[in-house]
Amino acid sequence: MADRKIASRSALAGLAKSGALGVSKGVPGVRIREITDFAAIGIIARRGRAAEVAAILSRHVGSPVVDAAKRAGAGAVSITGTAPGQWLAISRGPGTSLDELRTELAGLAAVTDQGDGRLIIEVTGPRARDALAKGVAIDLDAGVFKVGDAAQTSAAHIGLQIAPIDEAPTFEIISARSTAASFWSWLESSAAEYGIDVA
Amino acid sequence: MKYSIFSVLREGLRGGKGWTPAWREPEPKPHYDIVIVGGGGHGLATAYYLAKEHGLTNVAVVEKGYIGSGNVGRNTTIIRSNYLLPYNTHFYEWSMKLWEGLEQDFNYNAMVSQRGVLNLYHSDAQRDAYVRRGNAMRLAGVDAELIDADGVRAMAPFLDFENARFPIHGGLLQRRGGTARHDAVAWGYARGADSRGVDILQNTEVTGIRIEAGRAVGVETTRGFIRAGKIGLACAGNSSRVAAMAGLRLPIESHVLQAFVSEGIKPVIDQVITFGAGHFYISQSDKGGLVFGGDIDGYNSYAQRGNLYIIEDVHEAGMALWPAIGRLRTLRHWGGIMDMSMDGSPIIDKSPIDGLYLNCGWCYGGFKATPASGWCFAHTIARDAPHALNAGFRLDRFASGRLIDEKGAGAQPNLH
Amino acid sequence: MSSAGRLPTGGRIDRARPIKFSFDGRSMSGFAGDTLASALIANGVSLVGRSFKYHRPRGILSAGSEEPNALVEMRAGARREPNTRATSVELFDGLQAQSQNRWPSLGFDILALNGLVGGFLSAGFYYKTFMWPAAFWEKVYEPLIRRAAGLGRSAGAEDPDHYEKSHAHCDVLVIGGGPAGLMAALTAARSGARVILADEDFLPGGRLNAERQEIDGAAGSIWAATVAAELSSMPNVRLMRRTTVFGVYDGSTYAALERVNDHVAVPPPFQPRQRMWRIYARRSILAAGALERPLVFANNDRPGVMLAGAVRSYINRFAVTPGQRLAVFTCCDDGWQAAIDAAAAGISIEAVIDSRAEASPALGGELGKRDVRIFRGAEVIRAVGSRGLQAIEVRDASGRISSILCDALAMSGGWSPITHLTSHLGGRPVWNESLPAFVPGTLPSGMSVVGAANGAMALARSLAGGRDAGASAARDFGRSASDAPLPKADDEPATVRALWHVSGGRGPAFVDFQNDVTAKDVGLASREGYRSVELLKRYTTLGMATDQGKTSNVNGLAILASELAQPIATVGTTLNRPPFTPVSIGALAGHHRGKDFRATRLSPLHEWAKTHGAVFIESGAWLRASWFPRPGEKDWLESASREVRAVRSAVGLTDVSTLGKIDIQGPDAGTLLDRVYCNTFSTLAVGKARYGVMLREDGFVMDDGTTSRLATDHFVMTTTTANAVGIMRHLEFCHQGLWPGLDVQMTSISEQWAQMAIAGPKSRETLARIVDRQHDISDAAFPYLTAREITILGGTRARLFRISYSGELAYELAVPAGVGNAVAAAIMEAGTDLGIQPYGLEAMGIMRIEKGHVAGSEINGQTTARDLGLGKMMSKKKDYIGRVLAERPALAAPDRWGLVGLKPVDWTTRIRAGAHLIPIGAATTTANDLGYVTSVAFSPSLERWIGLGLISGGASKHGTRVRLVDLLRGSDIEAEVCDPVFYDPKGERLHG
Amino acid sequence: MRIRCPYCGERSNDEFYVLGDADALTARPSGENAEAFHEYVYQRTNLAGLHRELWYHSNGCRRWLVVTRDTRTHEISDVTYASKRGEGEAA
Ligand SMILES: Cc1cc2nc3c(=O)[nH]c(=O)nc-3n(C[C@H](O)[C@H](O)[C@H](O)COP(=O)(O)OP(=O)(O)OC[C@H]3O[C@@H](n4cnc5c(N)ncnc54)[C@H](O)[C@@H]3O)c2cc1C
Ligand SMILES: NC(=O)c1ccc[n+]([C@@H]2O[C@H](COP(=O)([O-])OP(=O)(O)OC[C@H]3O[C@@H](n4cnc5c(N)ncnc54)[C@H](O)[C@@H]3O)[C@@H](O)[C@H]2O)c1
Ligand SMILES: Cc1cc2nc3c(=O)[nH]c(=O)nc-3n(C[C@H](O)[C@H](O)[C@H](O)COP(=O)(O)O)c2cc1C
Ligand SMILES: [Zn+2]
């Protein structure tokens, strides 16, 4: 993506003020952080080219990318399967870009910019699972939903993509920009009883 | 025996010993002039009007379970005639007229209660659509009123006017709309038909339709073959299965619609109110239960029960509309199988097979149609031609394009 | 005794924690561990409520959620909860309860008169009367009936508490924490399986807390507490107290209600009152226990007549005594235990009456020594008393009737397994003559049933059944269950001989207590032909009250069976439906109420619009800027008119981000577009945009919008806001379902791009100030219908489309959503001196009507492309969705309603959408209905009201006059039918 | 109801949008035959029994699936992608 000369506004801007929310005694059960500096592209392999695309993606993140609902990449770039032959690539950090990957995929896959349309947050803390289970219907148990797994599902009628990214556990949640305020309203009210710390 | 305050008093004094069966339990005869398949509201009403209006009494109603075990016994009892398109407007208005004199006509109190049906709107576009509909009703001589948000507030101050996601802008009101006691409608027609000589055969399932030389001549049942001069199908959710016995495929899918009743409470809501920004409608039964419902589950089903998603959806909409019901409790929920037609409107017609007549496609709105449906179906069977009121409800309208699609949803039954 | 009714010792209550509460305004006290019912008994209250129909005085029948009688209004004000079962309310400090369905008071209730004329009010009486005069129904009869019926009163204000939902997954869900459930959960849990144990009680243990049986040599309740503690400590177990599993749904989905804070006056901050759970369980073990049946005899509803098992609960668990002088009436062994337990607690036993002549002499055991009168082969034929029990009339084996004074009667008609949850997916319980009771029939897949719920009416068998089911579930997951020995316990005697109805007593014999259905009503229904159990239920209302017949159904159908002289197995039962116990509506809604009913979508330009003072309206899921009022403007029309004038004379900016945007790539993209649009796209040049119309397969219009070609194999489609999601789904269907062979890739990019229209004669000049210099947007380089990727503001990527909805020289500019607000602000700044103004949905609507563009009111699912004047777009050269059925005779008929413009003859007159078109001079009837007004606007450009409408005959009616009749709002206006394009019909302004 | 999406795993039916009879809806006729289109668009066998039907995993992978389900019991016996090439786009 080309350099921007004007400021980009995060999806949660004006909503999630940093600090404590909900019950305030003791250690907060849930910590939430919005990721604001990132780029994202959607990738759909051309007909019959999924394997080649996966190979390029694997090379790019330095770990195997499979054609399944999995999240690969431990560093700045992660690649998550979203549908057969489809992935979402995310690159975190200031001034990030996925232009190089985009170039490599030319002719093999349809690539679309998606970073501006997304909200990314990380939810962690001892009660993160309990809070998320109030909307997310998939099994979030550590033995079932493991680091490397990913799922697209919904919470509170809002679609999202979720992946455990460490064993803390920390969950990366990617959702749509337009519903960020409603999503936040749900998350806050679900986590409030455990105490929330917004980074 | 005629029902009246006097008979109630007399029997009260005699310990109720004199009450006689509301309908007989006859053995099937080998032949009837007309066999109606389906002892729901429509089948029983058809038999009643065949006898009453056309003098045809060698008639049987064949019901696989107990009468009223289908949708007539499990609907949310709303009656109204607030339709948009001409065929529907006139037909449902005729039904409303019949409701208005029904109890005196068949001597059974079906508790027809015209407390009003209020459809809320939440946007200008929705208002315009309701105005179009309300005017169509008025052109057809049906009562309709448009009320604004203050008018709604005056009628139903308990609704959410403060914090609603979709604020209430107003409503379309049909004061003559209301409810009727669903079971009693089936029982009243059954008793009326029986007293005129119609045989009501419960626990008799039709398992086949015999066709000889291109003409339907009788039904195979779990109690044997019954020969019939004419056969009328009024099997609602099971229409496709029974029609298939005669080799017919119909423009119908069977879908489950759920309904709910709360614990009984003292009177709180007078009208029937429908939410315009979600799938929800509610009224209160004479026993005190809030009777409510919402959208269909969406998938084909014959199971008479649904799933959690819609149950939650309905309650969410309920709370969005009327947040004081949070502490009331849902007592029971159930499902019924509806014959969803491809344009959302019914079919009352002769079938392509001689001697076989169709009454189906009622979707979730056929209870209010019961009297007119029976009346028109009786006419169609007796005269071998549709009455003007059901002339539009033809089976061939899908091929010709003469659709009656109130919602404009197209050929996707789960959207009607 | 410490207080009336409270035993000096014992019970699972905490005497160190006294609790204050009030009933009908009277303050009372109880202890932690009490239910409201036990606390009322402790305070000597026996009259608690009034019945539904006859307003008979009622007391407490049971000690559980099956209670039909002791219903109260809990709490007050906005938290008032009618019909709350006192028997399952956990006592808390400050609890307020009131009796209900009585007036003026519980002790004296006017409507109790109904009971005196009960003979006339028998089942179904209202179907037979109140028919004349017809007009009286709504005005007189029905209000009376409604007021007398109902039970408690709902709160009048919004529920102040909050509710939520949650999800849980497990290998094994154990429903019920009595001996069977605890043993099942323990066994499965020790194998390592993920276990959830849910019990609706606040104290696990089930009947163990109510009875005095021993397990491993100690009180059963102690064993239960030990097991519960072990389960709580295991990481693979979730022990859910106060949680009722209320429904079973398809796919092993169980719904449960956790009463998180019903045992406190007000939930602590941030906590829900209740939480509804969806539990996805691979296996379930139903260990819900059994319900005791009352006995049906005259006046069996008198306060003081109680189920024998409940009497034991009150004595053993709550250390309260329902009476000082107790009699017991039973037809089974278990009933005797009430007498034994009561005697052990020092209560005087007046008599034990067992209807079985052969009842084992051993049962009396202890009692014999205490000189208790024991009747075998005898029956209680009547209870005596009104607001409380005073005596019973007993008919002994020889037929002699005697009266026994007592203030409490424990009755037991035997036990019925709680099979409810086995029936939610349609399974029917089956009759077991030896119990006699209905036991589970076909089970939901993955479910097994143990303990009393499975007809194992004894302790050791319940424990063994629990262990076996737990082990077998564990084995299903490849785990080996530890072979922990079964705890030691005995099976108590449990034979029963059914006694369905005791006749001969004077007075109504109740079958369904709450709904006042008597044995006589059952007989009447059967005589009148309502002979199926389901008809019996509906005619008499048997089993339809808040308890759903938990204590009445079996008795009722057994009485029907005897009336019909048929076996009970043939008569069958009515269908159980969820919920197992009533569930608050708030809990089933959870978070989704008020503003959170449904998600709100905010445009990426929302902040920008807010800054300019936009008035937002709900438009589907979106909030959209509707108009931008300025000080001094009196209404929306004035603001919107000003906005229109700004666009028509200078330049305006509006937000169109809500349109659906779909990125379509791949070599076959053009082919797919050709098949889904009725016009052709494969021929569109790169860098060009085209308006397209999609039909449904039935030939009606589905949606419209522009699609642009950015490269040979790359298109960007826009859809209407309302259909954005549906069109994406439709395209995926066409691709995956119909033509999977096409090499096409589609992605929604609706969220990614902020999109704004810059419209008006000065739009190019404005834009030129922000477009990066290397991009030439002059008319020559960037003519009408050009679409290109460009950069703006020094490198920000953007897409610029020269398309126009307003009819002016106009552009749509798409920029990444994150910079949307900033770009809009930059454009406003750039255009300040050119007179730029923000404009909203209203102004946009006015301008599209001036231009005769169709929108949602015209594309309403009932119109064809021809109806809308778009017939010429329907390609003759290719196949596309909707092509064939659009040619059906009725869709091509000349008298179809076609799009026209409408101008009121008096230009100052306001016209309104929804009015119908009636020929001048014709009667206002359906027969003369020519069509209707779809959209209207006051056109600031034409300075008059204009409208679009659909009229029979369409364009052929141009130049004629019709009436616009709005009967609802009382207007009848003459108008001229005209071309729908009112403004700049030649489209010259587009090309400026 | 729980549907085992071949890509996403088992999910409740509220994540899906349902369209109806898969046999009817994917058998689009070609050409001008109005009667064939009438059958395709309007006529349904409406089976009581094993029913192959189209579900769209709207809150998941957005694949159209063919679900074989008993309309009398709601029991699901099979789920596949509507497009044979679903998996990995390998075709
Ligand atoms: C939950 C729900 C709510 C509804 N709410 C409303 C409402 O508020 N207002 C409204 O107007 N409409 C409503 N409806 C729709 C309305 O109930 C139905 O359209 C209407 O009852 C259908 O006509 P019927 O009464 O004849 O059907 P049914 O009562 O279903 O009668 C059909 C009968 O045919 C019998 N049958 C089927 N197959 C055979 C066979 N092979 N042999 C013998 N007999 C057979 C069935 O057992 C059944 O008794 C609702 C429906 C449901 C399910
Ligand atoms: N001798 C007899 O005639 C007789 C008859 C019945 C019971 N019993 C005794 O009862 C006991 C039976 O043990 P059991 O474990 O089968 O039953 P139980 O009655 O001891 O326990 C059942 C538990 O299930 C809970 N429950 C019921 N439905 C529920 C639901 N939907 N959701 C959540 N919780 C629910 C109840 O609160 C209760 O705690 C044995 O001790 C047995 O001796 C004896
Ligand atoms: C208008 C209406 C009101 C109802 N009120 C009650 C009620 O008060 N109590 C009750 O238990 N069931 C009530 N029901 C539900 C019936 O018990 C029953 O569930 C429904 O008729 C479907 O039958 P089924 O559950 O046997 O399949 C009501 C049903 C309707 C249609
Ligand atoms: Zn999926």
Q: Verify that B328 and B355 share a domain, yes or no.
A: no
Pocket test for ligand 1, best of B364, B370, B393 (most atoms within 8 A of CB): B364
Q: Which CATH class is domain A38-115?
A: alpha beta
| Cβ contact C747–A115 (<8 Å) | no
In a domain, B105, yes or no: no
In terms of Cβ atoms closer than 10 Å to its own Cβ (0-12, 13-18, 19+), residue C446 is middle
pLDDT at B173: 98
**Domain made up of C601-658+752-847: CATH architecture:** 2-Layer Sandwich (3.30)
pLDDT at C797: 94
Instruction: Kindly report the average pLDDT of chain A as a whole number.
Output: 94
In a domain, B16, yes or no: no
pLDDT of B376 above 60: yes
Q: Verify that B261 and B402 share a domain, yes or no.
A: no
In a domain, D90, yes or no: no
C930/C956 Cα distance (integer angstroms): 13
Nearest CA to CA, how far is D40 from chain B (Å)?
A: 10
Helices marked H in C448-601: 459-476, 519-527, 533-540, 553-564, 568-571, 585-589
φ/ψ (deg, to 5) at C188: -65, -40
The model's pLDDT over C301-352, given as tens digits with 9 standing for 90+, comes to 999 999 999 999 999 999 999 999 999 999 999 999 999 999 999 999 999 9
Q: Percentage of chain C with pLDDT > 90?
A: 92
Q: Quick check: A171 and A162 in contact, CB under 8 A?
A: yes
The model's pLDDT over B280-299, given as tens digits with 9 standing for 90+, comes to 999 999 999 999 999 999 99
Tokens of A91: 């690159």
ipTM over 0.90: yes
Q: Looking at residue B382, which CATH number applies to its domain?
A: 3.50.50.60
The strand pair at D2-5 and D9-12 is best described as antiparallel
Pocket test for ligand 2, best of C66, C174, C187, C199 (most atoms within 8 A of CB): C199
In a domain, D44, yes or no: yes
Q: Verify that B275 and B139 share a domain, yes or no.
A: yes
Q: Nearest residue on chain D to A175, judged by CA atoms?
A: D59
According to DSSP, residue C138 is labeled I
Secondary structure element (H or E) that encloses residue C929, with its range: none
CA of A154 to the centre of ligand 4 (A): 12
The model's pLDDT over C777-801, given as tens digits with 9 standing for 90+, comes to 999 999 999 999 999 999 999 999 9
B161, B328, B341, B345: best to mutate for the C interface, most C CBs within 10 A: B328
pLDDT of D86 above 70: no
Q: Looking at residue D56, which CATH number applies to its domain?
A: 3.30.2270.10
- Lowest mean pLDDT of A13-17, A129-133, C296-300, C780-784, name the range: A13-17
Q: Quick check: B102 and B96 in contact, CB under 8 A?
A: no
| Cβ contact C154–B318 (<8 Å) | no
pLDDT of B278 above 80: yes
Into how many domains does chain D fold? 1
C235/B96 Cα distance (integer angstroms): 62
Helix pair angle (C533-540, B182-195), 10° resolution? 110
In a domain, B6, yes or no: no
In a domain, B88, yes or no: no
pLDDT of C609 above 90: yes
Nearest residue to B42 (alpha-carbon basis) of B234, B241, B199, B188: B234
Q: Verify that B231 and B294 share a domain, yes or no.
A: no
Across A105-121, average pLDDT: 97
The strand pair at A151-155 and A158-166 is best described as antiparallel
Across C35-47, average pLDDT: 97
Q: Quick check: B86 and B388 in contact, CB under 8 A?
A: no
Q: Quick check: B372 and B41 in contact, CB under 8 A?
A: no
Instruction: Kindly report the average pLDDT of chain C as a whole number.
Output: 96
Across C976-988, average pLDDT: 97
In a domain, D38, yes or no: yes
pLDDT of A1 above 50: no
Secondary structure element (H or E) that encloses residue C227, with its range: helix C220-233
pLDDT at A5: 57
Long-range contacts: D81-84, Cβ < 8 Å, 24+? D81/A84, D81/C736, D81/D6, D82/C736, D82/C737, D82/C740, D82/D22, D82/D26, D82/D54, D83/C735, D83/C736, D83/C737, D83/C740, D84/C740
Across C488-511, average pLDDT: 95
C888/B343 Cα distance (integer angstroms): 15
Task: Kindly write down the DSSP assignment for every residue of D16-58, as one continuous string.
Answer: -EEEEEHHHHH----TT-HHHHHHHHH-B---SSEEEEEEE-T
In a domain, B2, yes or no: no
**Domain made up of A19-36+116-198: CATH architecture:** 2-Layer Sandwich (3.30)
Q: Verify that B163 and B259 share a domain, yes or no.
A: yes
| Cβ contact C736–D82 (<8 Å) | yes
Instruction: Kindly report the average pLDDT of chain B as a whole number.
Output: 97
The model's pLDDT over C663-690, given as tens digits with 9 standing for 90+, comes to 999 999 999 999 999 999 999 999 999 9
pLDDT of C462 above 50: yes
Helices marked H in C6-108: 36-42
Nearest CA to CA, how far is A16 from chain D (Å)?
A: 25
Into how many domains does chain B fold? 2
- Residue with the smallest CA separation from ligand 3 atom 17 is C544
A64/A55 Cα distance (integer angstroms): 8
Helices marked H in B107-197: 124-139, 149-155, 182-195
pLDDT of C927 above 60: yes
Using the 3D structure, point to which of B317, B340, B363 is the last residue of a domain: B340
Residue B256 CA: which ligand 1 atom is closest? 53
Angle at alpha carbon of residue C275, lines to C273 and C278, rounded to 5°: 170
**Domain made up of C893-991: CATH architecture:** Beta Barrel (2.40)
pLDDT bucket at C134, cuts 50 / 70 / 90: confident
Q: Verify that B171 and B283 share a domain, yes or no.
A: yes
Helix (H), strand (E) counts: chain A: 4, 12
pLDDT at C4: 63
Q: Quick check: C44 and C54 in contact, CB under 8 A?
A: no
pLDDT of C269 above 70: yes
In terms of Cβ atoms closer than 10 Å to its own Cβ (0-12, 13-18, 19+), residue A103 is exposed
Residue that is written with structure tokens 């010709």 in the block: B400
In a domain, D8, yes or no: yes
**C294-413 in CATH: which number?**
3.50.50.60
The model's pLDDT over C817-831, given as tens digits with 9 standing for 90+, comes to 999 999 999 999 999
D89/D83 Cα distance (integer angstroms): 9
**Closest by Cβ to C253, choosing from D2, D34, D91:** D2
How far CA A102 is from CA of A97, A106, A107, C727, C752, in Å, comes to 10, 6, 10, 27, 17
| Cβ contact C253–D64 (<8 Å) | no
pLDDT at A170: 98
Instruction: Provide the residue range defining the domain that includes D24.
Output: 2-81
pLDDT at C121: 87
Instruction: Provide the residue range defining the domain that includes B375.
Output: 29-77+182-251+343-415
pLDDT at D58: 97
pLDDT of C992 above 80: no
Q: For chain D, say whether B413 makes contact (Cβ under 8 Å).
A: yes
Q: From the CB of residue C988, how many other CB atoms can be counted at a distance below 10 Å?
A: 9
The model's pLDDT over D62-78, given as tens digits with 9 standing for 90+, comes to 999 999 999 999 999 99
Across B370-399, average pLDDT: 98
Q: Quick check: C708 and C688 in contact, CB under 8 A?
A: yes
Across B113-120, average pLDDT: 97
In a domain, B18, yes or no: no
Q: Verify that B168 and B258 share a domain, yes or no.
A: yes
The model's pLDDT over B178-232, given as tens digits with 9 standing for 90+, comes to 999 999 999 999 999 999 999 999 999 999 999 999 999 999 999 999 999 999 9
Q: Which CATH class is domain C660-748?
A: alpha beta
Nearest residue to B37 (alpha-carbon basis) of B252, B245, B183: B245
- For C659-705, give the secondary structure using H, E and C: CEEEEEECCCHHHHHHHHECCCCCCCCCCEEEEEEEECCCCCEEEEE
Secondary structure element (H or E) that encloses residue B7, with its range: helix B5-13
Domains in chain C: boundaries: 14-119, 164-290+417-476, 294-413, 499-598, 601-658+752-847, 660-748, 893-991
Q: Quick check: B30 and B218 in contact, CB under 8 A?
A: no
The model's pLDDT over C64-113, given as tens digits with 9 standing for 90+, comes to 999 999 999 999 999 999 999 999 999 999 999 999 999 889 988 888 88
| Cβ contact D46–B342 (<8 Å) | no
Q: How many CA atoms lie within 13 A of C739 on its CB side?
A: 21
Q: Percentage of chain A with pLDDT > 70?
A: 97
Residue C496 CA: which ligand 2 atom is closest? 3
C671: Cβ contacts below 8 Å, ≥ 6 apart: C682, C742, C744
CB < 8 Å from B in window 19-58 of D: 19-21, 34-35, 38, 41-48, 51, 53
Q: What do you get for the CA distance between the two ends of chain D, in Å?
A: 32
Q: Verify that B313 and B279 share a domain, yes or no.
A: yes
pLDDT at A44: 98
pLDDT bucket at A16, cuts 50 / 70 / 90: confident
C420: Cβ contacts below 8 Å, ≥ 6 apart: C288, C576, C580
Q: From the CB of residue C1, how many other CB atoms can be counted at a distance below 10 Å?
A: 11
Q: Verify that B186 and B68 share a domain, yes or no.
A: yes
Secondary structure element (H or E) that encloses residue C145, with its range: helix C142-148
pLDDT bucket at C480, cuts 50 / 70 / 90: confident
Q: Quick check: A44 and C747 in contact, CB under 8 A?
A: yes
In a domain, D10, yes or no: yes
Q: Verify that B246 and B259 share a domain, yes or no.
A: no
Using the 3D structure, point to which of B340, B356, B380 is the last residue of a domain: B340
A172/A189 Cα distance (integer angstroms): 19
pLDDT bucket at C483, cuts 50 / 70 / 90: low
Q: Looking at residue B312, which CATH number applies to its domain?
A: 3.30.9.10
**Domain made up of C14-119: CATH architecture:** Roll (3.10)
Q: Verify that B35 and B140 share a domain, yes or no.
A: no
C477 contacts on A by Cβ (under 8 Å): none
pLDDT bucket at B41, cuts 50 / 70 / 90: very high
In a domain, B1, yes or no: no
pLDDT of A38 above 80: yes
In a domain, D89, yes or no: no
pLDDT of A2 above 50: no
Residue that is written with structure tokens 């709180």 in the block: B268
pLDDT bucket at A9, cuts 50 / 70 / 90: confident
Q: Residue D67 forms beta bridges with which residues? A: D53, D79
CATH 3.50.50.60 fits C164-290+417-476, yes or no: yes
Nearest residue to B44 (alpha-carbon basis) of B149, B176, B196: B196
Q: Verify that B190 and B205 share a domain, yes or no.
A: yes
The model's pLDDT over C202-244, given as tens digits with 9 standing for 90+, comes to 999 999 999 999 999 999 999 999 999 999 999 999 999 999 9
